[in-house]
Structure 1
Amino acid sequence: MLAIVFKKNYIYTVRAGDTLYSIAHRFGSTIEAIERANHLFEPVTDPGLIFPGDVLVVPSLLETGKVTYIVKSGDTVSGIASRFSTFSDLVSGINNLENPNLIFVNQRLIVPVFIYKIQPGDTLSAISRRFGISLSNITKVNQGRPGYQESVIWPEFHLILPLPTSLNIVVWTPLPGTRVVNRQRIEGQARAFEANVLHQLRDTNGAIVSNERFTTADEGAPEYGNFNSTLPFDRTPTSNTGELWVYTRSAKDGSIQDLVKIKIYF
């Protein structure tokens, strides 16, 4: 799976009085792991030096799971959604927020992103192409990180990558840029009429490798229910790359709605 990081990671904004030790202790990490994930070394900064306002990726050494954003003073759901190139409704829905206008400092919110550990020889443009994620969205989601710049990237730096989403759908598995096999498992969350979620798999030549099928989320609209399914191959791919389509269909005319396209490899 390339260098995707599946251990739990936190996105945390440094405050006055914070130290790397206190941050590491709070999130079950280590000073060394935080330094590596954010390249807190020369020439970016003196080793381990952080300032209020710095945005850090904090790798947990103890947990696995989705990336969690730690709410800071002044945050709003709409602002958080914009940073991560997604929608306020989706952020509220996947976190079961009763009142999206009421969030508080230190609140933990799941956000639709994943973490990629940069490898020697990587470039941002190559990463953008590999995962099918625009360079502008990559830059936006990594704003405020001391080790991030478009011109130079550092091996082992933990790059935040936004997931493709629609207003009503996020797909957690498979992740963009990963290899899909016959009967691949698919998982996500959706706000869907009668909880019906559809999917298909296409290769780059337009051949439908896995025909349209539907699955049912565990809750229907207005909730964001969890769904899971599999992708049986109905024909052999004719190319090495393709797209997973996850969507709903209009109850009125059957047209595709809320389409999420995820770049995958065969």
Structure 2
Amino acid sequence: MKAINRLWLALAVGGILLGALLLLAAGQGVALAAPVSHAPQVISAGKAAQAGAIVYVVRRGDTLSAIGRRFSVSVATLMRVNHISNPNRIYIGQRLLIPTAGPTPTPTPGPTTVPGEPVEEITIIQPSMGMMITSPVTVMGVGRGFEQNLGVRILDASGFEIGSGNAMISGELGQRGPYTGVITFTMPANAQPGRIQVFAASPRDGAFEHLNSVSVQLPGSGLDATLEQLKTALEKADAEALRQLLGRPFLFGLYRSEALLSEDPVQVMDLLASYGLNNPTVFVDFSVDARPLLQDSGGVPPGVEHVAYSTGWGEDGTWSAFLYLGAQQGQMRWTGIVLVAPEAKDF
């Protein structure tokens, strides 16, 4: 009996203390936390339009800061609009409101769906998540866009755009339908993850109305490694290493003159030797972006992916050269050289 009395006394004291705390909180204006609901927030296209925003569906690999950079919206704004307390806790499939600069057009009514079930305006079927891609890449899926048109962007690991284009939707105007686009892009030098974005743009101001993306793998072109090998081989006059790097055919020419295409590595090496290959002054300069220097002379031939600049050529080391590099049979190769006499230099 005494144990029961002590239990009732403890409960009574606890109740008095709880009541006192509640009164104190009310007197000091302290807001007591309401029960937290972990149910995901359902954001409809209509709610997004009313808020002057678009809907973005979180994909694998997304972070709130990366999404903010993509749409030029601060993390603080995304947290406020979407009632997010921890920026590090977003989940795959979460639908986020992305504020836009101007009013968003009223979305076109879509097909009948199950109430409360979210429907993505754009889906990506190909390439699949994590797929290795090369240029050009065929992008396929189902979506809706203005005048049956969708935009496509290819991004590298840093989020830099390395290619873009359009995909056309088949089917009735204004309705969702299958789309296909073939997009050419510049392969980064090193293997890295990338991302394909497919989006519908507003005809009013070009802002994204709907966007979906998929992460992919970019194998890399091998450009950096080939440049390093070429630099070492030229500056050391390593003939054997240069033969391994030579592309076939190989273009040999003088600046603003006709060029020779040769399949014979022996002929190419003889030509290089006659123009100072063995000079100790030959130097490959990676700091110069040589493509703009060739614009006034007609640019570069098809298939050339990079142009390096080199100095120290000729009998007296006063000539310079443009070194062409391009992919052949899936490997980066030295595909040509254009030598520039001192009197012909106009850049």
What's the TM-score, normalizing by structure 2? 0.29
Q: Which has the higher contact order (CA 8 A, sep 6+)?
A: 1
Structure showing greater Rg: 2
Name the structure with the higher helix share.
2
What's the TM-score, normalizing by structure 1? 0.37
